[in-house]
Amino acid sequence: MSDRQYILFNKPYGVLCQFTDDSASPRPTLKEFIDIPEVYSVGRLDFDSEGLLLLTNDGQLKHRLIDPQFEHLRTYWVQVERIPTEESLQMLRDGVLLQGYRTKPAIAKLLDTEPDLPERQPPIRFRASIPTSWLELKLTEGKNRQVRKMTAAVGFPTLRLVRVAIAHLSLANLNVGQWRNLTQTELQELRLKVIPRRLR
């Protein structure tokens, strides 16, 4: 199909991962940024989360990317209250028990410096008495508000959450609110990761 679309979008804070909002007080949606019909997000980012979103009208690829058996890394930069200990980071790596479900092992590390990100609008709440730090978390699953639940479970509430990569795809050169088409090389590599040869 020559009309298949594959789009990377840098979602701002406070935008719904859908094209309509039927609530009494409508919130900003993807429609305000992307004027392409019949594309849908692969997975979601919460209203209060930011960063990389993949959209497509390729149903087969979308299914493979959200199917748990076709694992691929999602990379997040997470600003949390206080400074996690090595013990807390190991808990994230081992898997955290959330409402009877243990998360899959994650890659978790403390970033040495604050990542180079534009300031969030509105900024996070700041309390002089409580330091903050940044983590890099890499997960192979994406359950509802999972990163926030994981950091809270080990004692470090999330203040800001930015997804910076999906598999080999990254936020590089995408400003907040901007989108671009995947390159053929990016698309081919993505399909290699999640679609068996006989189905490509």
Question: Which residue numbers are catalytic?
Answer: 46
Q: How is the chain classified by DSSP, letter by letter? A: -TT--EEEEEEPTT--SSS---SSS----GGGT---TT-EESS---TT-EEEEEEES-HHHHHHHH-TTS---EEEEEEEES---HHHHHHHHH--EETTEEPPP-EEEE-SS----PPPSSPPP--TTS-EEEEEEEES---TTHHHHHHHHTT--EEEEEEEEETTEE-TT--TT-EEEPPHHHHHHHHHHHS-GGG-
